[in-house]
Amino acid sequence: MSKRVALEASHAVAEAVKMADVDVISAYPITPQTHIPERLAEMVANGELKASYIPVESEHSALSACLGASSVGARAFTTTAGQGLELMHEVVYVASSMRYPVVMVICNRALSAPISVWGDHSDVMACRDTGWIQVFCENNQEAFDLTLWAFRVGEDSRVLFPVMVNLDGFTLSHVIEPVFLPEQSEVDRFLPKFNYPFALDPDRPMTHGALGLPDLYSEAKVAQEVAFRKSTGIILQGWKEFGDIFGRYYCPVESYKAEGAKTLLLTMGSYSETAKVTVDERQAKGDSLGLLRLRLWRPFPFEELRQAVKGVETVIVFDRCISFGMGGPVFSEVKSALYGEEPRPKIVGIVGGLGGRDMSAEDFGYVIDRGKEIAEKGSDRILEVVGVRGEMVSIRGQ
Amino acid sequence: MADREFVKFGQNIVTTQELLAQGHNFCTGCGEALAIRLACKAVGENMIMNMATGCDEVCTTPLPVTSWRIPWMHTLFENASATISGVEAGLKSLMAKGKMPERDIKCVAVGGDGGTSDIGLQALSGALERGHDFLYLCWDNEAYMNTGIQRSSSTPYGASTTTAPAGKVSIGQTSWKKNMVEICAAHNIPYTATACPSYYLDLMKKVKKGAEVKGPAYIHILSPCPTGWRYPSNMTVEIGRLAVQTGIFPLYEVENGRYRLNADPPELKPVREYLKLQGRYRHLTDGEIERIQQRVSEEYTRLKEKAACFPA
């Protein structure tokens, strides 16, 4: 029997890591992620969790130590945010390319400058191409569930890829909500022991991380891409098994009241819940509107997204990041994924919630209205940003 | 004759087992390759090695082949100490939880002078401070040799490198070599030492000691590089010997804070004998050589004074 307790999302993550019986935690504190390593350090200090906690001197070392732990078959966890993720960026690629299934929770934070400790998705958008399985959480229950699920999927011998679990800094990481905590026996049924097939062992010497000359590098990268795309099957299977045991079923693209809707708002992360309030209000007034939420960001859920927008006239993509010189990264990827669709919906991108700027239900109302307007008439702005002060230069005709 | 004598007697001291297999791509006469080979013999096969990016990693693992007969990994340039921290913590945790049988596996991190004294210094300091049970070996060939002889903080004063070349208005390297042994000893770790493959028994004894000691150990190994120092490749051992005999690279150890000189010749040879054999010092004037001589003599005296505080 699971019990229902009030937990901060960060502490829900720590509970999941504890129930996963992780072997090594290696983390460097950074706002807004601090509550996760603090709680885990406390659990280790109390003897609640038997694990090595490595208080490293930087995020670069945090993930490097996880690679070391993973290489000998230990279950490894790290967590970071914002600048911390950028500092470890180099190691992020190595983790996936060497197939070490580390689990990392990111409390999404804006990037400097100006320095900001508050939330947006700029940090993780710089990691789009790193070859990690990436998911976005909406609430505390999902923070718990997806952290647990991340170990199950990443460590599957048919996958062996690291997993990033994204939760919005402050607006999710620091929020207290009721969370169902399962029994340890249920968790043990869902999550088998980590049995790394390539663990470094003096009894069977193995070389990890060799030099790839031009005659082999391409083959190595293609093998990685093939394996990464194949992991989608195990991702889905993992969610099915999770649902069968815990009663909560997840999918790559969540549709909210989207059936038959002419316009869909597409979001990621915790602001989706706020946007859903707006969808409810608008639907009550007779608006043909629904919501899509991308839970799985990598591997990109092409098929599920295409299915979800069948028959839709307009998709309004809400981004919490600017790809400078390009626009919203989710917008451009969604647009690219749907380009070949016949018929193809109109796709509009609007940015908001940068550096912790609040997005209210009214703001999402603006996103919807403005999005529809742009879909009909086009926009004369370089970039659509909700509630921004100052001039947005026209680039018409450029 | 000497070879036959060695097979007869030497194998009692030095194992004939080669953990670094033949067929690697090191330059002829590489001091680093020699140091690695000896160090592996000293630690034995019961180890996991993490290697920083560098000549050693590039020369031993061109896919799909490998020279390693030990479990070996490389991830990046600056993180060997952090990665070995995870290896050590992982093994400890798995054994403590009964997920792996208890056994003594030596955790060894290695890197060149760049990966150690420059880009990897922070990760090394962190791992030493946290007290992981590991051995760090630095093969110091006094420049970034893998990328083509660029200066490092370990390049000696007066040496010409490709990023600090000697020229009309420069003598090459204008700073004095960073003292990694003192930096590591200042972390109050149980064992720190210098070594050189020219003194192979001394090197192996120290590596063995460093591997056996509980907690972090650091050994700084001078690895003469014919390519970067510009001397004939058959002179590696001779050059290493001269580095010690001139006092430029004294062999000593710091064990639990106690300094001990391992080779203390009654009289040091002039540094000129060492410098004149190498192309990287060819441009030095008598005045500059004198300047180096003075500095070496001073530092050697200071080291002797430290050692004198701890009579055997």
Q: What 3-state class would DSSP assign to A166?
A: strand
Q: Which token pair is A385?
A: 């940003």
Q: Would you say residue B235 has pLDDT above 50?
A: yes
Residue ranges in B131-285 assigned as alpha helix (H): 180-185, 200-212, 226-229, 236-245, 271-275
Residue A103 near chain B (CB below 8 Å): no
Please judge whether A202 and B69 are an interchain contact, meaning their C-beta atoms are less than 8 angstroms apart. Answer: no
Structural contact between residues A187 and A148, judged by C-beta atoms closer than 8 angstroms: yes
> Which overall architecture, per CATH, does domain B2-308 show?
3-Layer(aba) Sandwich (3.40)
Interhelix angle B121-130/B80-96, nearest 10 degrees: 30
Residue B2: pLDDT over 60: no
Confidence of residue B8 (pLDDT cuts 50, 70, 90): low
Yes or no, beta carbons of A205 and B68 under 8 Å apart:
yes
Q: Do A52 and B69 touch (CB under 8 A)?
A: no
| Residue whose C-alpha is closest to residue B250's, from B204, B199, B290 | B199
Classified as helix, coil or strand, A69 is helix
Q: What is the pLDDT of residue B1?
A: 45
pLDDT for A379 = 85
Going along chain A from its start, the domains and CATH numbers come out as 3-194+209-246 (3.40.50.970), 255-377 (3.40.50.920)
What would the pLDDT profile of B255-267 be if each residue is shown by its tens digit?
999 999 999 899 9
Instruction: Give the gap in angstroms from C-alpha B85 to the nearest C-alpha of chain A.
Output: 6
Which carries the bigger pLDDT value, residue B15 or residue B107? B107
**Number of Cβ within a 10 Å radius of residue A89:** 16
> Contact A351/A383 with Cβ under 8 angstroms?
yes
Q: Return the residue of B nearest to A94 by Cα.
A: B75
With tokens 């008598």, the residue in question is: B286
User: Which amino acid is located at B204 in the chain?
Assistant: M
Note the pLDDT of residue A397.
40
In whole angstroms, give the CA distance from residue A58 to residue A81.
12
Residue type, B16: T
pLDDT truncated to tens, each residue of chain A (398 aa)?
A: 689 999 999 999 999 999 999 999 999 999 999 999 999 999 999 999 999 999 999 999 999 999 999 999 999 999 999 999 999 999 999 999 999 999 999 999 999 999 999 999 999 999 999 999 999 999 999 999 999 999 999 999 999 999 999 999 999 999 999 999 999 999 999 999 999 999 999 999 999 999 999 999 999 999 999 999 999 999 999 999 999 999 999 999 999 999 999 999 999 999 999 999 999 999 999 999 999 999 999 999 999 999 999 999 999 999 999 999 999 999 999 999 999 999 999 999 999 999 999 999 999 999 999 999 999 999 888 899 998 987 665 554 43
Backbone dihedral angles phi then psi of residue A319, each to the nearest 5 degrees: -110, 145
Query: H helices within chain B, ranges in order?
Result: 2-9, 31-43, 55-60, 80-96, 113, 121-130, 180-185, 200-212, 226-229, 236-245, 271-275, 286-308
Domain ranges of chain B: 2-308
C-beta atoms of A52 and B92 within 8 A: yes
* Geometric angle at alpha carbon A96, from A58 and B95, rounded to 5°: 70
Residue of B45, B79, B125 for testing the chain A interface, max A β-carbons within 10 Å: B79
Q: Are B262 and B245 in contact (CB under 8 A)?
A: no
Cβ atoms B139, B115 nearer than 8 A = no
> What's the pLDDT score for residue A332?
96
pLDDT over 90 percentage in chain B: 94
The confidence score (pLDDT) of residue A187 equals 98
| Cβ-defined contact of A71 to B122 (cutoff 8 Å) | no
Nearest to B63 among A50, A91, A212 (CB): A212
Whether pLDDT at B4 is above 80: no
What are φ and ψ of residue B91, in 5° steps? Answer: -60, -45
In this complex, is the C-beta atom of A76 within 8 Å of any C-beta atom belonging to chain B? yes
Quote the ipTM score.
Answer: 0.96
- The CA distance from B90 to the nearest CA of chain A, in Å, is 4
Say what the pLDDT of residue B183 is. 98
- CB-based contact B71 A205, cutoff 8 Å: yes
- Enumerate the residues of chain A whose CB falls inside 8 A of the CB of residue B75: 64, 67, 91, 94, 98, 209
The CA distance from B112 to B77, in Å, is 9
CB contact under 8 A, B89 and A208: no
Considering CB atoms only, which of B62, B93, B123 is closest to A74?
A: B93
Q: Show the tokens assigned to B295.
A: 């500095």
Average pLDDT estimate for B71-82: 98
Of the candidates A304, A284, A298, which has an alpha carbon nearest to the alpha carbon of residue A361? A284
- A125 CA to chain B: closest CA distance, Å? 23
Residue of A61, A70, A88, A221 to mutate for B, most B C-beta atoms under 10 A: A61
| pLDDT score, position B13 | 74
Write the residue in B57, B73, B130 that is nearest to A71 by C-beta. B73
Residues B136/B218, Cβ–Cβ less than 8 Å: yes
Q: Does the CB of B76 have a partner CB in chain A at under 8 Å?
A: yes
Question: Maximum Cα–Cα distance for chain B, whole Å?
Answer: 65
CA A222 to the chain's CA centroid: 24
Gap from B210 CA to chain A (nearest CA, Å): 19
Burial of B230 (0-12, 13-18, 19+ CB in 10 A): middle
**Start-to-end Cα distance in chain B:** 37
- Residue B44 to chain A, least CA–CA distance (Å): 10
Predicted pLDDT at A390: 79
Strands A207-208 and A296-298: unpaired
